[in-house]
Chains A and B, each alone.
Chain A
Amino acid sequence: MIDATLVSGFLGAGKTTWLAEHLRRHEDGVDLVVVNDFADQGVDDALLREAAWEAGARVEPIVGGCLCCDRDGALRRVLHAEIGRRHRGDAARDGRVVVETSGLAEPHRITRMLADDPVLRTNLSLRSLVVVVDGLGGRRLLRHRHGVRDQVAVADRVVLSRADLARHGELEELAATVRRLNATAELVASTLGTERPVTPADPAVADVFDDDGTVAEPDVRSCRVDLAEGTSWAEYALWLDTMCRAHPDRLLRSKGIVPTRDGRLLVQSMGGDVATPVPAPPGVDTGMVFVLDRIDPDALVRSLRTHVPSAGA
Chain B
Amino acid sequence: MCAQCRAPGSRIDWYAAGAPDTLAGRRTARTELAAVATRQLAPLGLRVDAHPGSMTLAVRSATGRTVVVTRLDELADAVRALTGRSVDPLEPRR
- Listed in ascending order, the chain A residues whose CB lies under 8 Å from chain B are 136-137, 139-140, 143-144, 165, 207-208, 210, 232-235, 237-239, 241-248, 258, 260, 262, 265, 267, 271-277, 295, 299-300, 303, 306-307
| B4 pairs with A208, CB closer than 8 A | yes
| B15 pairs with A300, CB closer than 8 A | no
Question: At the interface, yes or no: B73 with Cβ under 8 Å from chain A?
Answer: yes
Chain B residues near A235 (CB-CB < 8 A): 36
Chain A residues near B36 (CB-CB < 8 A): 232, 234-235, 238
| A295 pairs with B25, CB closer than 8 A | no
Give the size range of B's interface with the partner: 20 to 34
| B90 pairs with A300, CB closer than 8 A | yes
| B8 pairs with A233, CB closer than 8 A | no
| A140 pairs with B2, CB closer than 8 A | yes
- Please judge, given known A-B contacts A234-B29, A234-B32, A245-B76, whether A276 and B88 are in contact too, CB under 8 Å: no
Question: At the interface, yes or no: B23 with Cβ under 8 Å from chain A?
Answer: no
Q: Given known contacts A233-B32, A241-B72, what 8 new A-B pairs fall within 8 Å (CB)?
A: A140-B2, A144-B2, A207-B4, A232-B36, A233-B29, A239-B89, A241-B75, A246-B90
| B2 pairs with A242, CB closer than 8 A | no
| A273 pairs with B88, CB closer than 8 A | no
Q: How far is the CA of A140 from the CA of B6 in the complex (A)?
A: 8
Q: How far is the CA of A248 from the CA of B43 in the complex (A)?
A: 23
Chain B residues near A233 (CB-CB < 8 A): 15, 18-19, 29, 32
- Flag B11-38 by CB within 8 Å of A: 1 or 0 each: 1101101111000010001001101110
Chain B residues near A207 (CB-CB < 8 A): 4
- Please judge, given known A-B contacts A143-B2, A143-B5, A237-B72, whether A274 and B10 are in contact too, CB under 8 Å: yes
Question: At the interface, yes or no: B83 with Cβ under 8 Å from chain A?
Answer: no
Q: 15 A-B Cβ contacts within 8 A?
A: A136-B11, A208-B4, A233-B15, A238-B36, A238-B40, A238-B72, A242-B89, A244-B8, A245-B9, A246-B90, A260-B18, A271-B8, A275-B14, A303-B89, A306-B93
> Which chain A residue lies CB-closest to B77?
A245
User: Shortest Cβ distance from A45 into chain B, in angstroms?
Assistant: 24
Q: How far is the CA of A238 from the CA of B32 in the complex (A)?
A: 11
Chain A residues near B9 (CB-CB < 8 A): 245, 272-273
User: Shortest Cβ distance from A40 into chain B, in angstroms?
Assistant: 22
- Listed in ascending order, the chain B residues whose CB lies under 8 Å from chain A are 2, 4-12, 14-15, 17-20, 25, 29, 32-33, 35-37, 40, 72-73, 75-76, 86-90, 93
- Please judge, given known A-B contacts A233-B18, A237-B18, A241-B72, whether A140 and B90 are in contact too, CB under 8 Å: no
| B76 pairs with A241, CB closer than 8 A | yes
- Please judge, given known A-B contacts A242-B89, A245-B8, A307-B40, whether A262 and B72 are in contact too, CB under 8 Å: no
> Which chain A residue lies CB-closest to B20?
A262
| B14 pairs with A274, CB closer than 8 A | yes
> Which chain A residue lies CB-closest to B7?
A272
